[in-house]
């Protein structure tokens, strides 16, 4: 820690944080800066934003109802609103986006979550396990004979993409549409001064998502099946608490937040095993450690850098200071998950780590709805890798992309 302190000062930290907020890719290794902030300026000011880096403060922000996600979501939507007088479709698309579970405060958050939880109960997740395993086996079989391949594009991303397409009962080809729309929205999510081109792309993506899911829901209502969309329609009709806009927003959320996070968990996790071959060897020798190893991957290289912004609805004491009313707050998950107050030797990647209290999937009432499915997919993939592709090495060093999520641009590996 001392070495980091000698290279970072209060003046450079402020400038570097502004750069980090503007473009993640400027810092391929943000952890020295985050460590300095956590120790010296844990509630850092970055323009109008307060940036939290301690585990306890980030957790408190998630749990405290005085921090409103809904107000921040509305502000984000307005910041990217290009058309002052949108047509009816775009109006509904904007409402659907804001109505997502992840953008709600209580009591709407609890009401919507109770409906969506029907699809993610442990018993329901268990029914999907055979398909997750079958898809994983199929993907592994396709690369087994290749000397080199891109792990990211051939294994990490196809698994959650295939799973979500099958769960929704739609053609796998549709994931290409979702990917383009999600990239436009997620890529612009933290843009403080969006260009007209960015705003137009975001609005078109929201429009496309709305029209796609509007058509899909209408089709399922005519003939319900056993897919995820039908399951949520049944839950909606039986509970009579979800509006159509809320249902469409929920489906969009499952696409944007679901497969992307899982893909990055798998991709980042493989990158870690290749960076730390001693840990890779430990897993090869003892595959029973895989569940704990996945938790350590989530902690050490969190798939989402930060929490979604929240807005203080009143002056809130936090971290030894006062967050003023109206101030946006962001919790740095990747900093919280390396807080030495919570984790012993936090900057060491250890697949044998016990009592891993990471918050990569958030915490409290806002914990990730699909976290158990993501864990199931990651554990299944790494179990298959350890047993069927046991010797992989990096061909070239990847770069992390400029995105709200922590994702490498590629991960080219060689079988040895």
- At residue 394, what are phi and psi to the nearest 5 degrees? -70, 135
pLDDT in tens, 124-178: 889 999 999 999 999 999 999 999 999 999 999 999 999 999 888 888 888 888 8
Unique residue bearing structure tokens 């999600």 = 182
Question: What does the longest C-alpha to C-alpha distance in the chain come to?
Answer: 66
- Global pTM? 0.92
Q: Residue 330 CA to chain centroid, in angstroms?
A: 14
Q: Is the peptide bond before 286 cis (omega within 30 degrees of 0)?
A: no
Residue 124 CA to residue 272 CA, distance in Å, equals 31
pLDDT at 184: 80
Q: How far apart are CA 340 and CA 19, in angstroms?
A: 25
pLDDT (0 to 100) of residue 5: 45
pLDDT tens digits, one per residue of 23-33:
777 888 999 99
Nearest in space to 77 (alpha carbons), one of 64, 90, 59, 62: 90
Torsion 201-205-206-207 (CA) sign: positive
**Pair of tokens at residue 23:** 């473009």
Query: pLDDT at position 76, please?
Result: 84
Sites in the chain below the pLDDT cut of 50: 1-5, 239
pLDDT at residue number 3: 38
Closest listed residue to residue 57, CA positions, set 345, 310, 349, 407: 310
d(CA 186, CA 406): 12
- Token representation of residue 153: 């594009």
**The pLDDT of residue 2:** 36
User: What pLDDT, on a 0 to 100 scale, did the predictor assign at position 193?
Assistant: 66
Rounded to whole angstroms, how far apart are CA atoms 205 and 27?
28
- CATH homologous superfamily for the domain 2-415: Cytochrome P450 (1.10.630.10)
């Amino acid at each position: 820690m001392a070495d980091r302190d000698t290279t970072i000062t209060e003046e450079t930290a402020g400038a570097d944080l502004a750069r980090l907020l503007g473009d993640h890719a400027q810092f391929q290794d943000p952890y020295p800066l985050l460590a300095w902030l956590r120790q010296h300026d844990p509630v850092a000011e970055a323009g109008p934003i307060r940036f939290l880096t301690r585990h306890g403060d980030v957790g408190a922000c998630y749990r405290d109802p005085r921090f409103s996600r809904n107000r921040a979501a509305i502000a984000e939507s307005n910041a990217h609103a290009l058309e002052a007088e949108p047509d009816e479709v775009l109006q509904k698309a904007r409402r659907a986006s804001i109505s997502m579970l992840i953008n709600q405060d209580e009591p709407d958050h609890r009401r919507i979550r109770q409906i969506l939880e029907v699809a993610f109960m442990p018993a329901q997740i268990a029914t999907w396990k055979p398909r997750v395993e079958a898809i994983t086996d199929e993907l592994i079989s396709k690369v087994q004979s290749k000397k080199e391949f891109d792990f990211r594009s051939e294994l990490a991303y196809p698994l959650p993409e295939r799973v979500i397409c099958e769960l929704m009962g739609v053609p796998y080809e549709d994931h290409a549409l979702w990917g383009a729309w999600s990239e436009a929205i997620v890529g612009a999510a933290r843009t403080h001064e969006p260009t007209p081109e960015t705003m137009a792309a975001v609005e078109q993506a929201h429009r496309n998502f709305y029209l796609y899911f509007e058509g899909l829901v209408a089709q399922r209502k005519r003939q319900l099946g056993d897919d995820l969309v039908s399951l949520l329609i049944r839950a909606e009709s039986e509970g009579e608490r979800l509006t159509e806009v809320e249902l469409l927003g929920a489906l969009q959320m499952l696409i944007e937040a679901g497969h992307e996070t899982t893909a990055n968990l798998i991709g980042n996790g493989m990158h870690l095993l290749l960076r730390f071959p001693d840990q890779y060897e430990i897993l090869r020798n003892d595959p029973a450690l895989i569940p704990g190893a996945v938790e350590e991957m989530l902690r050490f290289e969190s798939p989402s850098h930060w929490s979604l912004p929240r807005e203080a609805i009143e002056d809130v004491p936090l971290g030894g200071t006062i967050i003023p009313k109206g101030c946006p707050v962001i919790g740095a998950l990747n900093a919280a998950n390396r807080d030495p107050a919570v984790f012993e030797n936090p900057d060491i990647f250890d697949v044998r780590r016990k009592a891993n209290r990471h918050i990569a999937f958030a915490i409290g009432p806002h914990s990730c709805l699909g976290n158990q499915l993501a864990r199931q997919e990651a554990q299944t993939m790494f179990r298959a890798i350890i047993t069927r592709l046991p010797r992989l090495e990096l061909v070239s060093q990847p770069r992390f992309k400029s995105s709200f999520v922590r994702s490498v641009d590629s991960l080219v590996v060689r079988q040895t």
